[in-house]
Amino acid sequence: MDLSPPDAQPPGVLFDRRAARRAIDARSGDVPPRNASEQRAEISSAHHARLFGFESELEARLTYIPLAVRFKLDKCGVKLSLDQWQQLPEGNRRALLGVRCESGAEIADYRRELQALIRATPGDEPRMFEVGSGPWDDPDVPNQVRRKALEFGAVPPTPYQWRALTPLQRFALIKLSRDGEHGRNFMPALRAFELL
């Protein structure tokens, strides 16, 4: 897996900020401005690199960690702080979103590359945790997703609807059903996943 930024530099030169900025601007230039009253359509066609329309502009611009990357982090057992994420060169953040992390080999490669990237930046060592099967693999709707739907006055997804979702969509609903500021995107996610 190659996580080098666009216009990669010779060995020893980790990152060319101007070249990566041009590449990122070219790739994300079609992301329309977002205001609070409209939902942006999903802006990535690759399933494993999906940016959902309900995610904020900060996630779309990779200032914050998008759900697709958070899913990959959970799958490979790496805890990444927002500060560590923001210290990564922008081209590397874009690559971490774009690279596949599904098979056992891809997950192991992603973990190794991510650890190397974090160690190459100043700050804390990457924190690891044991990886098991995630709740997104469970065929039953998690209780916290049911409770959050009811809290908003919505009908929780049926087991059939839950199983029809992709693992990334199930992961998103699980994350968004937790208490905190991300909960504001729970209902937009239900709409985006055609569960309302």
> What is the token pair recorded at 66?
């998008």
pLDDT per position as a tens digit, 73-83:
999 999 999 99
pLDDT greater than 60 at residue 29: no
Sequence-separated (6 or more) residues with CB below 8 Å from residue 131: 74, 75, 76, 77
How do residues 82-98 score in pLDDT, each as one tens digit? 999 999 999 999 999 99
Say what the pLDDT of residue 18 is. 39
Sorted by where each begins, the domain ranges of the chain are: 17-128, 135-192
Q: Which two tokens stand for residue 69?
A: 């990357």
Backbone angles phi, psi at 184, to 5 degrees: -65, -20
At residue 166, φ and ψ (nearest 5 deg) are -75, 160
The crossing angle, in degrees rounded to 10, of helices 67-76 and 90-98 is: 70
Kindly report, residue by residue over 160-193, the tens digit of the pLDDT.
999 999 999 999 999 999 877 768 899 999 999 9
Question: Could you tell me the pTM of the whole model?
Answer: 0.75
Where residue 26 falls among pLDDT bands split at 50, 70, 90? Answer: very low
